[in-house]
Structure 1
Amino acid sequence: MPEPGDGRLRKGERRRRALLEATMRLVGRRGTAAVTQRAVAAEAGVPPSAVLYYFATVDDLLVAALTDVNDDYVARLAAIATVEDLVGLIEDCARQDRLRTVAEYELLLHAARRDELRAELHRWDTALAGAAQRLVPGDPEVRSLLVAAANGLFLAAALGSPCDTAALARLVCRTG
C-alpha cells in the first residue's frame, strides 16, 4: 500500500480529482445524463479504464462529485460567524464559473430524486441551518427565512440572475 508521501498516492489523488472536475464540467454543460465513463474519460483526457479504476459505476462517480462539492460548502458554512461571512460565500458562488454552479445544483436535484443520496442533501441543509442558528440564534422563523433566502440566492447565482446579496441577507437578519 502506498505511503502518504508516496508519489503513486499523489498521482492517484490528482487523477481522481481530475475525474471529479471532468464530471462537474460535463454535468454543468449537459446534465447528469451526459455522465458516462467514456465521456468523463474523454473530458479528463484519460483512458476509460481510469474512470472504472476509481469509480465502479457512474452512480459512484456522481455520489463522489456531490460529496466533494458538499464537503467544500459544509466546511465553509461551518466557518460562518457573521452575515458578511454568509454574503461572502454566496458572492463567491455567484462569481465562480456559472457552469460550475449549475453543475452543483444539477447534482443536488439528482440527489433529490435518489433515496440513497438524501443524506448529502440533509448534510447541506444541516450545515446551512447551523450557520443560520449562529447568525439568528433567537428566532426560528427568521432562521427559516434566512435558510430559504440563502438557498434562493445560491439558485440565483446558478441562473446568473443579478441580485443584491448583501442587502437581502441583512434585511432577513434584521427581521429577527
Structure 2
Amino acid sequence: MPETITDGRRRRGATRRRELLDATLRVIARDGLAGISQRRVADEAGVPASAVMYHFASVDDLLVSTLREVNDRYLAELEAVSTLGGLAALIASSGRAALVAEYDLFLLAARRDDLRTEVDRWDAALRGLAERVTPRRGDVLAAVVNGLWLQAAVSGLDESGALAVLRGATGWRQGESNP
C-alpha cells in the first residue's frame, strides 16, 4: 500500500515528481531515449525546466527513476495475477506507446551493469508468476510473457490472442483449471 503523505509540501513534491516521471515516459514513447532532455521533459509536464533538476540530480537519474517506477508498477501488477486469463488481460491492456517507452528503459537496464538489479527483479517476478500460474513449463512461460509484451509493443495484441499463446506455451488443455 502506498505511503500516505500528510505534509502538504512533501505531497506536492511527490505529485510533481510523479508528473515528471509520466512526462518522461511520454517523451520516450514519442522521441526515444535520445529525445530525453531536461527541457523536453519539463515542456511535456508543463513545468519550468528547473523543476526537473530540482527533483532529479541529472537526466540519467530521471531515466533510472522512471525505469524503477515502471518496474515497480509491473511487479505489483504481476503479483496480483493468478491465472493465465488474468495474465492475458494484463498484457492486452498495456498501451502500445507506453510499452515502447518501457522497452526502451528495459533495454537501457540490460545494457548497464548498474541497472542489472532491475532486470533481475523482473526475471524473479516472472519466475514467481510461473510458479503461481502453471505447475509446468514455467521457464517457457517467462520467455513467452516477455515475447508477448514485445509483440504488444510492436503491433498490438488482443486478450484472446494472448491467452491462446499462453495456453499453448504451458500445455494447458481444455477442462483443466486455471485458464
Q: Which residue of 1 aligns with 2:143?
A: 148
C-alpha distance in structure 1 between counterparts of 2:116 and 2:127, whole Å? 16
Aligned match of 1:109 in 107, 110, 116?
107
Count of matched residue positions in the alignment of Structure 1 and Structure 2? 168
Percent of aligned pairs sharing the same letter:
49
Tell me by how many angstroms 1:9 deviates: 1.7
Aligned match of 1:118 in 112, 116, 119?
116
Q: Is the 8 A contact 1:135 1:173 kept in 2?
A: no
The AA in structure 2 aligned to 1:10 is R
Q: Which residue of 1 aligns with 2:176?
A: none
Q: Are positions 1:19 and 2:20 aligned together?
A: yes
Tell me by how many angstroms 1:49 deviates: 1.1
Q: Which moved more, 1:78-87 or 1:149-158?
A: 78-87
Q: Which residue of 2 aligns with 1:58?
A: 59
Q: Which residue of 1 aligns with 2:36?
A: 35
Q: Which moved more, 1:60-69 or 1:128-137?
A: 128-137
C-alpha distance in structure 1 between counterparts of 2:130 and 2:5, whole Å? 37
Q: Is the 8 A contact 1:37 1:58 kept in 2?
A: yes
The AA in structure 2 aligned to 1:150 is V
Q: Which residue of 2 aligns with 1:91?
A: 92
Tell me by how many angstroms 1:172 deviates: 1.6
Tell me by how many angstroms 1:161 deviates: 4.1
TM-score, normalised on structure 1?
0.89
Q: Which residue of 2 aligns with 1:174?
A: 171
Tell me by how many angstroms 1:162 deviates: 4.3
Q: Which moved more, 1:3-12 or 1:117-126?
A: 3-12
Q: Which moved more, 1:164-173 or 1:154-163?
A: 154-163
For residues 24-74 of structure 1, what are the alpha-carbon distances to aligned partners after superposition, in whole Å with 9 as ceiling and x for unaligned? 011111111111111111111111111111100111101110111111110
For residues 58-101 of structure 1, what are the alpha-carbon distances to aligned partners after superposition, in whole Å with 9 as ceiling and x for unaligned? 111011101111111101111221111211111112xx2x2111
For residues 133-156 of structure 1, what are the alpha-carbon distances to aligned partners after superposition, in whole Å with 9 as ceiling and x for unaligned? 11223x3xx111111111110001
For residues 91-117 of structure 1, what are the alpha-carbon distances to aligned partners after superposition, in whole Å with 9 as ceiling and x for unaligned? 112xx2x21110000100111111111
C-alpha distance in structure 2 between counterparts of 1:4 and 1:77, whole Å? 26
Q: Which residue of 2 aligns with 1:157?
A: 152
RMSD: 1.7
C-alpha distance in structure 1 between counterparts of 2:23 and 2:127, whole Å? 30
C-alpha distance in structure 1 between counterparts of 2:5 and 2:76, whole Å? 23
Distance 1:162 1:134, change over 3 A: closer
Q: Which ranges in structure 2 are unaligned for 5 or more consecutive residues?
A: 174-179
Tell me by how many angstroms 1:173 deviates: 2.0
Q: Is the 8 A contact 2:92 2:157 kept in 1?
A: no
Q: Which ranges in structure 1 are unaligned for 5 or more consecutive residues?
A: none
